[in-house]
Amino acid sequence: MTASPATLELSDEVAIVRMDDGKANALGPGMLDALDAAFDRAEREAKAVVLAGRPGRFCAGFDLKQMMAGPESARALVTRGAEVLLRMYAHPQPLVVACTGHALAGGALVVLCGDVRLGTAGEFKIGLNEVAIGLPLPILAIELARDRLDPRRLTEATLLARQFDPEAARDAGYLDHVVPSEQLLPRALEEARRLAGLGSVPFAASKRALRRDTIRHIRDTLEENIREFGG
């Protein structure tokens, strides 16, 4: 039996979701399904979530083999990916992202979905590099970046495809804190346990209100945007 590329373990009231496909943690159908199932379980069994990768690799973004297989393949993957990413962004529980290494393209979007985002110090790259590799940025990426990044850095982070080291990523708005690798998961758990103590109903309602317009706009324009994708 093939191991799941994303697993969940419980630590008190915190669900620790780990992405590890043994490679670059690409967002293919298997990873997206596993993440969706993990967040289902987290809603039932936990009060907060930590999402981590494996050392050196957080997430390489959408699976390039499927993205380059043709427009229909790319559209299908981006559509499914948007469902899962927006589900993370709207997740009613606190979500702490522990960025364990490189986070590119769709991987940077996973980082942006966190309520608190911690990154490991080191020679890693975080950023939306789609334009640099010949792909247009989907509306999902543009609007999540607009929502979370420093407006002064938005053009270089999107249109100019800049990749940031962890400290520069913190300054641009991808990360809230950069910590040594050995402190990353303990610090993420500490943050998640603190946030789990917030009232679940007011937290979920406030998060829903805060992000409603962005999520609605992405959903309202996603189908048309994806039809144009790869055109």
In a domain, 228, yes or no: no
In a domain, 17, yes or no: yes
SS3 106: helix
pLDDT band at 1 (very low <50, low <70, confident <90, very high): very low
In a domain, 225, yes or no: no
User: Is the distance from CB of 163 to CB of 129 less than 8 angstroms?
Assistant: yes
- pTM to 2 decimal places: 0.96
pLDDT band at 103 (very low <50, low <70, confident <90, very high): very high
In a domain, 97, yes or no: yes
Q: In the prediction, which pLDDT does 229 show?
A: 63
Q: Residue 16 belongs to a domain with what CATH number? A: 3.90.226.10
pLDDT band at 64 (very low <50, low <70, confident <90, very high): confident
Q: In the prediction, which pLDDT does 134 show?
A: 85
Structure tokens at 54: 């494996």
Range of the domain at 131: 6-181
pLDDT(19) > 70: yes
User: Is the distance from CB of 124 to CB of 101 less than 8 angstroms?
Assistant: yes
SS3 102: strand
Q: In the prediction, which pLDDT does 230 show?
A: 52
Q: Where are the alpha helices (DSSP H) in 26-127?
A: 29-45, 64-67, 71-89, 106-112
Q: In the prediction, which pLDDT does 75 show?
A: 87
Q: What is the mean pLDDT of residues 20-33?
A: 95
**What is the average pLDDT score of the chain?**
95
113-171 pLDDT tens trace: 999 999 999 999 999 999 998 888 999 999 999 999 999 999 999 999 999 999 999 99
Angle of helix 71-89 relative to helix 200-228, nearest 10 degrees, comes to: 170
Q: What is the mean pLDDT of residues 50-75?
A: 91
